[in-house]
Amino acid sequence: MKRFGAERRAATSVEFALTSLVFFFLLLIIVNLGDLGLVLNDLKQGVQGAVRMAAVQTGAEMAATGNTASCVSNADITGYFNAIVTPVLPAASGSANDGTPVVQSAWQNNQGNQTGGADITVTARYSWSPIGVPNTILGLPLSISASQMVIGTSGETTSCN
């Protein structure tokens, strides 16, 4: 009769099973951190692109029409955002409960500044969850904002609200 532990083939397979669990767990962590970085970068690029497009379009309208401008709507800003982020993130919608990003914009008149014009702030919120984990169990709330001033001539005001 063989002594317990004398069979080396079984010990090797047990060692492999234990070390492979640790290896695959670390690999999953690395993949999830990479995915988080990709999502954060995409949110940042989407918000910056959307605020830039809104400011440029409003500035162009101000130059074409004089002192009054109609500001870019939140639906148009969400469209700019979606054009930038859709391969990586789902298209933004108006609801935070469906697992898609939510884009909000706020215009503020900037009459006290020497350059005049208006400020626009765009904020995107998204609930990220690790791969293999449902969003309802573990969702990490991410929020990215960017602001831009629409430059006009001195004393110029806009109808942005």
Report domain extents, the chain.
8-150
For residues 112-123, give the mean pLDDT.
71
Cα pseudo-dihedral 35, 39, 41, 43, rounded to 10: 180
For residues 45-60, give the mean pLDDT.
89
Mean pLDDT of the chain: 80
For residues 62-84, give the mean pLDDT.
80
pLDDT confidence tier of residue 4, bands split at 50, 70 and 90: low
Supply the pTM of this predicted model.
Answer: 0.76
Distance CA 122, CA 81 (A): 10
Distance CA 150, CA 60 (A): 9
pLDDT at 34: 94
What is the total residue count of the chain?
161
pLDDT at 31: 93
pLDDT at 119: 82
For the cut 80, the answer to whether the pLDDT of residue 145 exceeds it is yes
Q: Are 158 and 58 in contact (CB under 8 A)?
A: yes
pLDDT confidence tier of residue 128, bands split at 50, 70 and 90: confident
pLDDT at 26: 94
